Amino acid sequence: MELVISNEPFNRAAALSLRQAIFVTERGIPRDIEFDDRDTSDRVYVTLYQDATHPIATLRLEPQSPTEMRFGRVCTRQDLRGQGIGTRLLTAAEDWSREHGFSTGVIHGEVSAQAFYERCGYAVNEGPFDEDGAPVVILHKDL
């Protein structure tokens, strides 16, 4: 497996492609909600590749302040869930964020994924509430 953390066009394309397949096609989230004004050409994405041509998991890095990093649009290909790939992806994002001066991680996670984030060391401190048509909690973790 290969991990890429960048805003390079190929990595951005892989991240957006995965999100189209997972959030829009699989989950039915409207594309105009899934793809928003934070998907800019300078946005950094963390993407895990099975090999050079097959992205399998991704998330979007969204700095909220000089010390707080939001991990957004976290997703893993459906046929590979439950194999530790999401944990590996999130850990890499946390490590990168820590190395770049961030001390807190925040996730707006769907209630259905809350247990996963809690296993990764996050704690709920807000919610649940509706965000983009889904019940969401806000979770934080000291990095």
* 13-24: pLDDT as tens digits: 999 999 999 999
> b vs e for 67-85, b when ≥16 Cβ sit within 10 Å of the residue's Cβ?
ebbbbbbbbbbeeeeeeeb
CATH number at residue 77: 3.40.630.30
**Domain ranges, residue 92:** 2-142
**pLDDT level of residue 98 (50, 70, 90 thresholds):** very high
Cβ–Cβ < 8 Å for 28, 11? no
How far are the Cα atoms of 56, 77, 78 from residue 86, in angstroms, in the given order? 9, 10, 11
Whole-structure pTM value: 0.91
